[in-house]
Amino acid sequence: MTDPSLEALLDNVNVVSMTEMPSPAQLHAALPLTEAAARTVLAGRKAIRDILGRRDPRLLVVVGPCSIHDPAAALDYARRLRVLADRVGETLLLVMRVYFEKPRTSVGWKGFVNDPRLDDSFRIDEGVARARELLLQLAQMGLPTATEALDPIGPQYLADLISWYAIGARTTESQTHREMASGLSAPVGFKNGTDGGLEVAINAIRSARSPHGFLGMNEEGRTSVIRTRGNPWGHLVLRGGGGRPNYDTVSVRIAEQALVKAGIAPNIVVDCSHANAMKDHTMQPLVFADCVHQVREGNRSIVGLMLESNLEAGNQPIPEDRTQLRYGVSVTDPCLDWAGTEALLLRAHEELREPLALRARTAA
């Protein structure tokens, strides 16, 4: 037998504690998927696949808060978005951005799943349950949702309620995330690298559409060998990088050529925030309008757009006194306000009627 004092020097040296989580099956039993919610998710996924497959001429628009920190405000936003989705549904498929996890370059709040109380208590068990509860409410409303796949265990808890995934610029190059994406049941957008390069995202799309085998967790919470068949619905998300945007006509054309050269369908979603807006939320409408103009001029590769939008504009730091948080204001990246978002999408709806109708006729 090994001396226990030696084992203590070898393993978990920097681990303070371990708290067991409920298994995905236990959480699903506590917060079960309803038939109405399932139909919303399936309809959302089908519509996105049809857009990517050029069977649906509309544009996908992933729109919503940079991150979720207040479920009540998220529901308030969602009710407004649901009404707007019906108004613009002829030209735009609105999918609510519901990001529960935030990647960090160094330190900072890691998102609602990791820290739902915003106080570094890391009640992940509470966070994942409250996240699932919110997703169920949104799906019951008939509103499809999108999120970032960051933690490879997270999808087992929430994936049955998600219609579109993003793999972020920091994780697109990660083998773990490429393998995870290969098994996800929803379409996945891979962002270009933080340096603005396309190669890592193109390699990720190719990797994710191939079968993989890797360690993961099953529904019962047991470590398992996961084998996937590959996800055929990977596509490119342009978010800028390296100090410059890449949503302009020349950059989009370069991305099209790179995708075709790699044997990948030239499907491009443009992220109107991040480096494309130089981290200035007031520039998002300019990026959005430029892309709408490209579509009006005949572009066929831009199949979607992303907007960071909240009830109120801008952002705020997380105060020590949580009661001082301003309602409907982002605690991560600054966002457009609801009034500006609604006006932007209604204008795009009117401007895109004719060119998207032409898309549909020529595709047929």
Q: What angle do CA 204, 334, 352 make, to 5 degrees?
A: 70
Q: Is the pTM of this model over 0.75?
A: yes
Q: Please tell me the predicted confidence (pLDDT) of residue 224.
A: 96
Q: Please tell me the predicted confidence (pLDDT) of residue 12.
A: 87
Q: What is the pLDDT of residues 229-281, one digit of tens each?
A: 999 999 999 999 999 999 999 999 999 999 999 999 999 999 999 999 999 99
User: What is the mean pLDDT of the segment spanning 119-125?
Assistant: 94
CATH topology of domain 22-98+136-363: TIM Barrel (3.20.20)
Q: Please tell me the predicted confidence (pLDDT) of residue 362.
A: 76
Whether the predicted pLDDT of 360 surpasses 90: no
Low-confidence winner among 5-9, 63-67, 311-315 (lowest mean pLDDT)? 5-9
Residue 3 pLDDT level (bands cut at 50, 70, 90):
confident
DSSP string covering 279-295, please? T-GGGHHHHHHHHHHHH
Residue 7 pLDDT level (bands cut at 50, 70, 90):
confident
Contact of 189 with 167, CB cutoff 8 Å = yes
Cα–Cα distance, 287 to 284 (Å, whole number): 5
- Of 333, 272, 281, nearest to 307 by C-alpha is 272
Q: Please tell me the predicted confidence (pLDDT) of residue 89.
A: 98
Residue 104 pLDDT level (bands cut at 50, 70, 90):
low
- Of 271, 266, 250, 289, nearest to 192 by C-alpha is 271
Q: Please tell me the predicted confidence (pLDDT) of residue 364.
A: 57
Q: 105: Cβ–Cβ under 8 A, 6 or more apart, which residues?
A: 170
CA distances from 288 to 67, 135, 255, 305 (A): 20, 27, 18, 7
Whether the predicted pLDDT of 303 surpasses 60: yes
Q: Please tell me the predicted confidence (pLDDT) of residue 106.
A: 59
Angle between helices 35-52 and 124-140 (to 10 degrees): 80
Q: What is the pLDDT of residues 177-212, one digit of tens each?
A: 999 999 999 999 999 999 999 999 999 999 999 999
18-23: long-range contacts at Cβ-Cβ below 8 A with a sequence spacing of 24 or more?
19/125, 21/124, 21/125, 21/128, 21/221, 22/125, 22/129, 22/221, 23/219, 23/220, 23/221
**Percentage of the chain modeled with pLDDT above 90:** 91
Number of H helices, E strands in the chain: 11, 10
Q: Based on the number of CB atoms within 10 Å of its own CB, is 296 exposed (0-12), middle (13-18) or buried (19 or more)?
A: middle
Q: DSSP 3-state assignment of 242?
A: coil
